Structure 1
Amino acid sequence: MKRYMFLTGALSLALLACSGDDVSGTSDSLESSAAENESSSSLLVEESSSSLEASSSSMQESSSSTDFALCKVRGDWGSRGGCAETPPSGHGDLWSTGNLKVKTASLIDPASLGDRAGEFFFETDSAEGGGSEIIWTERIFVIPEFKGLLEANIHLVTGTLPYNPFCNIGFNVAGFDSSGNAISADVSDWNGICVLYEGSISPTIQLDLGDSLNQKMGHSLPSVKMVSQKEPQCYEWSQFKQPDLEEGYEAISGEEAAKKVVRIVFHFQEQPNEEFYGHEDIEFIAIGTNRDE
C-alpha cells in the first residue's frame, strides 16, 4: 500500500518537499492536551500514583522474565511490563528511530574512538554505472535528506552495471583517526546484532573490515541475510559467513571478524522489480546489540 501511494503521489510530494514548508505538523494539540491533564483532579492523580507504585514490582518481574528477542532492541517497550511493541516507536541500545547517530560510544571505550564514530553513511551504485538512489520519506511524504528516520524508498536502477543495482545504508563503528584512516573496533562482546525492520526488500548485513582486509578477502565480507518482518530479528556473529569466497583469498569466521569491524553495512541489492519501476520501501525502527544485559 505504501509503495502504491509513493508512486502515485511522488511528483506532488517532491514539490512539497522542495517548497521548504514544514510538513511535520504542530504541537498545538499536544499542548492543549497537556493543559487539560494538568487541570484534572488531584485525587485522581494520587489514586493513579498509588496504583502505579503497587504494580511497579510486578511489571519489573514480568520484564525480567520475558525472553523475547525484542528486549535486546530495548527501550520504551520494556516499560510496559515485557516487550510489547508500540508502533511506530522503537528503541535499541545502538540506534532508536529519530537519532542522527548510532550510540557506539556507549558500548566501546571512548578513548579508542576517533572522529565521526557512530555516523551513518549512505551509498549508491552511481560511481560504478548504476542509477540507484535513496529517497527519504516520512510516512507518505518525501523529505529532502536523512533526519534521523531510516525510512526510505530505494529506487534500484541498473544503468550500465553488469550486475544487479544496489544501495547501502550503514554506520561507522569507531570512526577515523587524525589522518583520516578508518579505525577498527572489537565488538565481539555485542554477541551479534538485532534489528527491527520491515520493507518490500530485505537487506544483507555485512561486516566491513576496512580496505586492506576487504581486499585480502576478495571483498567477500562476512554477511547474513535479513528477512522482512515486523518482529525483531537477532543474529549471532557466528551466523555471519563469507559468500562465494574464491580460492586464494583469506577466509575469516564471523566471530573473528567481529574483533576488527570498521563499518556495519545494510546492503540492498536486487534485480529491479519491473512492476514498480525498481521502487522498494524500507523502514528500520530500531537497531541493537545481541547482549542479554
Structure 2
Amino acid sequence: MSGAVALAFMACSKDNGVGGTSTEPNTVYADERALWEPLVGDFHVNTARFALSWPKGAIEDGRWFWEIQNDTEDGGMSYIEWPAKLGDDDDPLAPIVDACHGICGTAVLGKGSLTYTPFVSVGFSVAKDSTGNPLPVNVSNWGGVCVSYSSDVALRLEMDLGDSMNENLRFGLPGFELTATDTVVSKCVRWLEFKRPAWTKDDHDWKIDGMLAAEQLVAMRFVIQAPVGEYKFNIKYIGTVEENPAGISDFEYSPEPWKQAKYYTLNGGNGNMWTPANDGDRVSTSLYSKDVWPENVEEDGRWYWNTDENDGGKSSIEWPEALGTDNSLEPVVRKYFGVSGVASLKKGSLQTDPSVSFGFNIAKDSAGNTVPADVSDWNGFCIEYYSQTPLKMELVVEDSADGLPFVELPKKMLAESLCFSWGEFNMPNGVDEVSKERNVTKDKLVESFSEKMISVRFTVQADDGDYKFGVGAISVLDRRHMAEMMRIF
C-alpha cells in the first residue's frame, strides 16, 4: 500500500504512571461509540477497539494517509487539493483534521494517458510493526463500519489487505459504495455488505468477502473514482456496527465543531507523584526530596491558576465543574482525571498575546507562604496532557534573573504522556549563553534551578479564542524510575 502513512508514536506503560500501551492507546473520548470523532479532537482512528486478536508486537496506527501515487503510475494526473498546508512530520494530515474537524478536500481528477477512470483515495492504517510497516489485524468484531460523510460524487469504502494480497486480487478489493450527498449523512455497513467489484466475478481462485477480509484488514480507505473533474468530499465520523447495532441514525452531526463534548476526560492513569483520581487537587511534591526538604516547611502541591487580567488582558478559564471550597479544583480533578478546562483568551489592552496559566506550588511555610524547595532528585518528570494549542511548561524558581527553564508541549488533542529530564528544559536567553556564563553543562544548569523550585506552571498563550487543555497523571524521573523507563524502551 503506497501512501503517506503516519508511523511512529511513543507508547508508555500505565503501570509506571505515564499511561497507555501499544494495544491500549491514549485516546480522548467524548462518544463511546466512536472509532474516530474529530469534532471533539480525535486526530487518529482508535483501531484497537474491539479488535479480536491483536498481533504480538503490533502497534496501533490509525493515522490518516492518502495515496501519493494515486493513478499517476499508470499515466493519470489526479491529486487531492487540501484546505490547509500539510504537516511536515509523520502525521501530515493532522492539520487537515484540525482545519476541517474531519478529513476534507477536493479530488482533482485528471485522466492523462490512463486507460481507466481516474481516482484518488484517502484512508487510515490499522496497525504497524516496530519498523513502521503495516500489519493485518482481525477486526471482525467491529461488525462493520459506520461513517458520516458528504461528497460530490460516490465514495467507495474499500478494505485494503496489503500490497501482496491487493495484487493477488488485481486490486479488486471488497468495498461498498457510499452515494453522493450534498449534506453530511450517516451510514452503517456490515462486513457482509462489502463485495468485490463485479468485474472480478471470474477470479475463481480468490473467493474473499467482507467477513474474511475483516480478519486480515490492513487499512480502510475512501476511493473517489469518477470522470475528469473536481469533487469535494468531507469525512466526519467513523464508528463500528458493534457500537451501533441499530444503525447510526441517532448520531447527530453538528456543524458547530466544538459544540459536542466541551471538556475532555483524561486517561485516569497512575502517577507516582500525582494520580488525580486518588490525590484530588494535591500533588505529592516532596516525593524523593524529603532528605533535602527545608526545616519547618510543609509540602504544598495544591493547584492554582492565574489570568492576564492585571496586565490589561481579559482572559479567563472556564472550568467544567463548580469549584470547591476556597476555589479548590478538586471537583474538576475527580471527574475529569486531571486539571481540565477551556482557556478563553482575550487580548484587551495587552501588548503581547493573551494568556492564562495554572500550576502547583512546591512548598509553604507555617503561615502558608510559598517557599522554594530542592526537588533536584526528581531528575525531571513525565506528564499526561492534551491541549488545543501548544502548552508551555515552566519551572518557577527563586532566582529568575536568567528567565525560567521551560519546555513547549506540542498541540495534542489525544491525551498523551511525555517525559522530560532536566537537560531537556530550555532557557529563554539561550541555554548555551547561560551555561557558558555559569561554566556548567545544560543538565547541571537546570538542575541548579531545580534546587530552589517554587512551582511548576503551565501557560496557554495564543491569539484570541477558546482553547481546551488538560493535565493528568504526573510521575517524577527519579533514578529508579529512569532505570525502569530504560528497561521498557
Normalised by the shorter chain, which TM-score bucket? 0.5 to 0.7
Partner in structure 1 of residue 17 of structure 2:
74
Shift of 1:152: 0.2
Partner in structure 2 of residue 281 of structure 1:
468
Change (3 A) 1:68 1:281: closer
Aligned mates of 1:83, 1:262 — CA distance in 2: 36
Partner in structure 1 of residue 361 of structure 2:
172
Aligned mates of 2:471, 2:395 — CA distance in 1: 18
Identify, as 1 or 2, the structure richer in helix.
Answer: 1
Partner in structure 2 of residue 89 of structure 1:
268
The aligned amino acid for 2:361 is N
- Which range moves more in the overlay, 88-97 or 107-116? 107-116
Shift of 1:208: 0.6
Aligned mates of 1:73, 1:118 — CA distance in 2: 21
Partner in structure 2 of residue 192 of structure 1:
380
Shift of 1:135: 0.9
Shift of 1:134: 1.0
Shift of 1:70: 4.1
Correspondence for 1:270 among 462, 466, 472: 462
Superposed, which structure 2 residues align to 1:101-120 within 5 Å? 101-109=282-290, 112=294, 114-115=297-298, 117-120=300-303
Contact 2:396–2:454 (8 Å) recurs in 1: yes
Contact 1:176–1:182 (8 Å) recurs in 2: yes
Partner in structure 1 of residue 391 of structure 2:
203
Query: Which secondary structure state, in structure 2, belongs to the residue aligned with residue 104 of structure 1?
Result: coil
Contact 2:26–2:415 (8 Å) recurs in 1: no
Aligned mates of 1:205, 1:72 — CA distance in 2: 24
Aligned mates of 1:90, 1:283 — CA distance in 2: 13
Aligned mates of 1:69, 1:192 — CA distance in 2: 16
The aligned amino acid for 1:231 is E
The aligned amino acid for 1:135 is E
Contact 2:406–2:426 (8 Å) recurs in 1: yes
Shift of 1:74: 1.4
Shift of 1:287: 1.5
Correspondence for 1:153 among 342, 345, 353: 342
Partner in structure 2 of residue 162 of structure 1:
351
Aligned mates of 2:427, 2:396 — CA distance in 1: 11
- TM-score normalized by structure 2? 0.38
Query: Which secondary structure state, in structure 1, belongs to the residue aligned with residue 459 of structure 2?
Result: strand
Query: Which secondary structure state, in structure 1, belongs to the residue aligned with residue 370 of structure 2?
Result: coil
Query: Between the two proteins, what is the percent identity of the paired residues?
Result: 26
Shift of 1:160: 0.6
Correspondence for 1:255 among 427, 433, 447: 447
Correspondence for 1:100 among 261, 281, 284: 281
Superposed, which structure 2 residues align to 1:11-50 within 5 Å? none
Gap runs ≥5 in structure 2? 1-9, 28-265, 485-489
Shift of 1:290: 2.1
The alignment yields a C-alpha RMSD, in angstroms, of 3.4
Correspondence for 2:370 among 175, 182, 198: 182
Query: Which secondary structure state, in structure 2, belongs to the residue aligned with residue 95 of structure 1?
Result: coil
Contact 2:11–2:25 (8 Å) recurs in 1: no
Change (3 A) 1:70 1:237: farther
Aligned mates of 1:155, 1:123 — CA distance in 2: 12
CA deviation string 1:140-196 (max 9, x = no partner): xx53462224110110110111001111111111x2224665322222221211111
Partner in structure 2 of residue 242 of structure 1:
427
Query: Which secondary structure state, in structure 2, belongs to the residue aligned with residue 244 of structure 1?
Result: coil
Partner in structure 2 of residue 64 of structure 1:
none
Aligned mates of 1:289, 1:197 — CA distance in 2: 15
Contact 2:267–2:415 (8 Å) recurs in 1: no
Shift of 1:240: 1.0
Contact 2:343–2:468 (8 Å) recurs in 1: yes
Shift of 1:206: 0.5
Aligned mates of 2:273, 2:450 — CA distance in 1: 16
Shift of 1:244: 3.5
Aligned mates of 2:376, 2:290 — CA distance in 1: 13
The aligned amino acid for 2:477 is N
The question of 1:136 aligning with 2:328 is answered no
- TM-score normalized by structure 1? 0.61
Q: How many residues align?
A: 210
Contact 2:360–2:457 (8 Å) recurs in 1: yes
CA deviation string 1:63-101 (max 9, x = no partner): xxxx954458518x69x9x98758632221122224110
The question of 1:121 aligning with 2:304 is answered yes
